[in-house]
Amino acid sequence: MSEFEIDWARERRTGIAEAVLCDGKSAAQIEAILASAGERPLLLTRLRPEAHASLSDKARHDLDYDPSSATAFHGRPATGLLPGPGIVCAGTSDLAIAREAARSLAFAGWQAPIIADVGVAGLWRLMARLDEIRGFSVVIVVAGMEGALFSVLSGLVDAPVIAVPTSIGYGVATGGRAALTGALASCAPGLVTVNIDNGFGAACAAVRILKKFGEARDPGAHP
């Protein structure tokens, strides 16, 4: 029996197709997983450029790879996307994680615009784009440092807000614990959070909401 047991039924069961976290896996392991996938769609996350470069030509040819988000699509083009959640991003350094969320949503069939550089140190930047943000039915907020943006934005919109703390920062913010704590201890009611740097997880949470409440996509069918 193979050592790889892909959960192909996951999309039917939970609405979210199987994804492969590439950190900690060797090139040989990733290629074996791709081989076992055949034509079936698979999302690869945290596939660093070096790791991508170490794959075989065949494997690289089959993947739609985006280095800025370290994600790759296998077996499913990201076309015909529906309008999806808004992704609000505190700083330039948080963009890689914001893009992981956007790509994960694209893989699932939704187009998610990124509103960048709206950290609370210059509150007017957020205010200037508030109407735009209020137009989304789900909002993903990506922030590092102390994560004050999570609380501020949650107090300004009525949509579900999903926080993605990032590992951007130094000193007490090293590794993202400060931003995570900022999200969990928030004084703004109804804010939820995922793990540090987990843009993929936030996208999945948004997909659960969108699919359950009527904007569902036929898996694999966005033409």
| 151 token code pair | 């609380």
| Separation between Cα atoms, residue 73 and residue 21, nearest integer Å | 13
Q: Are 149 and 183 within 8 A, CB to CB?
A: no
48 binds its own copies (CB under 8 A): no
Return the number of the residue (40 or 125) whose C-beta is nearest its own copies.
125
Of 158, 218, 221, 223, which one interacts with its own copies (CB under 8 A)?
Answer: 158
106 binds its own copies (CB under 8 A): no
Shortest reach from residue 187's CB to its own copies, in Å: 5
Q: Are 86 and 140 within 8 A, CB to CB?
A: yes
Of 52, 147, 199, 222, which one interacts with its own copies (CB under 8 A)?
Answer: 147
Q: Which of residues 172-211 bind its own copies (CB under 8 A)?
A: 172-198, 200-202, 204-205, 207-209, 211
Return the number of the residue (41 or 119) whose C-beta is nearest its own copies.
119
Cα 148 to chain centroid, rounded: 20
Radius of gyration of the chain (CA): 18
- Straight-line distance from the first to the last Cα atom of the chain, in angstroms, rounded to the nearest whole number: 35
Contacting residues for 76 by C-beta, under 8 A, at least 6 apart: 41, 107, 220
171 binds its own copies (CB under 8 A): yes
19 binds its own copies (CB under 8 A): yes
Of 37, 142, 161, 222, which one interacts with its own copies (CB under 8 A)?
Answer: 161
Of 37, 90, 101, 112, which one interacts with its own copies (CB under 8 A)?
Answer: 90
DSSP letter at 81 equals: P
Of 79, 124, 131, 221, which one interacts with its own copies (CB under 8 A)?
Answer: 124
Q: Say which residue the tokens 């039915």 belong to.
A: 137
